Amino acid sequence: MSSKISASFLVFVIIANLILDDLGVECRNKSYTPIVMYHGMGDTAYGSIDSIRKYLESKLRGVYVTSIQQGRNFEEDFLSSYFMNLNQQVEKACEIIQSDEKLKNGYNAIGFSQGGQILRGIAQRCPYPPMKQLISIGGQHQGVYGLPKCLGSFKICDFIREMLNFGVYTRFVQNNLVQAEYWHDPLQESLYKQNSVFLADINNEIHLNETYRNNLLKLEKLVLVYFLNDTIVQPKESGWFQFYLPGQSEKIYDLKDSPLYREDRIGLKRLDEQNKLFLLSTIGDHLQFSIDWFQKEIVEKFLAKIFI
């Protein structure tokens, strides 16, 4: 009797091992889409957002997460968030992404604050490898009009304000101050459109660049998050492509009432009609979100899908 039990148990163990081995091969052949992150003003690739990288790696086992660093070190990356022309940042970031073998089949992108519009610039100008999902957290996609709070040292912030007061739409300031490149003056719309070297261009507000629109339409999902109690982004609704009505700085138009949406200048309307546009908001000041919210609303809904 015992020999029969032993034989049966042996057969069970062999079959179980074969099944587990097959499952192991299947799991090894599955992976999460790699993630590229881009930091905001006054931060660095491996500064405060590095905790997000570590969290993603702990929750999405085996996922590859990288963060774009501009320059050779921490200091250069930090200064680039204030003084490196955004067009140059997009171009350099594209080179970094294209040279990363682990991103060759595509990636998801998470942009924090101004990193959101920088990554959108990459999506529109650098379609290979493909950006699959763009998640913008606290971005300024219609720009800002005001700098009530500045993330950085007092000296840097005072210098930025002096530059903005000097002439935000002068060639020198536009080419050398990041925050000027997405400064949007609703009282001087024509001046903004004529002189903005970055935001007006990627928003197709001057000339209609079909390539920009076609490339953004390649996204599987565009996720836009703004903070309900934001005291840094002015207006906070810029994270949803909403902004002040021209000629004043109080009333804010809805996304669907904007020329950008109605004329579908960069593809937002079509993405919305295809159920690829997601508008999220959360309580808290700028980039002040809970890890529970991030897990439930971002990780589980947009990043946790496994691909074979």
Tens-binned pLDDT, residue by residue, of the chain (308 aa)? 545 545 554 544 455 454 444 444 334 446 899 999 999 999 999 999 999 999 999 999 999 999 999 999 999 999 999 999 999 999 999 999 999 999 999 999 999 999 999 999 999 999 999 999 999 999 999 999 977 566 555 577 777 767 776 789 999 999 999 999 999 999 999 999 999 999 999 999 989 999 999 999 999 999 999 999 999 999 999 999 999 999 998 899 999 999 999 999 999 999 999 999 999 999 999 999 999 999 999 999 999 987 64
295: left (phi over 0), alpha (psi -120 to 50) or beta: alpha
Residue 187, amino acid: L
Calculate the alpha carbon distances from 54 to 57, 149, 162, 231 in Å: 5, 28, 38, 27
What per-residue confidence (pLDDT) applies to 304? Answer: 92
pTM score, whole prediction: 0.87
Token pair 């650098």 is at which residue? 126
Domain boundaries, the chain: 33-307
Return d(Cα 241, Cα 13) in angstroms, integer: 59
Q: Supply the residues annotated as catalytic.
A: 113, 230, 286
Give phi and psi for 61, each to the nearest 5. Answer: -55, 125
Task: For domain 33-307, give the fold.
Answer: Rossmann fold (3.40.50)
Return d(Cα 153, Cα 41) in angstroms, integer: 11
Which positions ≥6 away from 261 have C-beta within 8 Å? 241, 255, 268, 269, 272
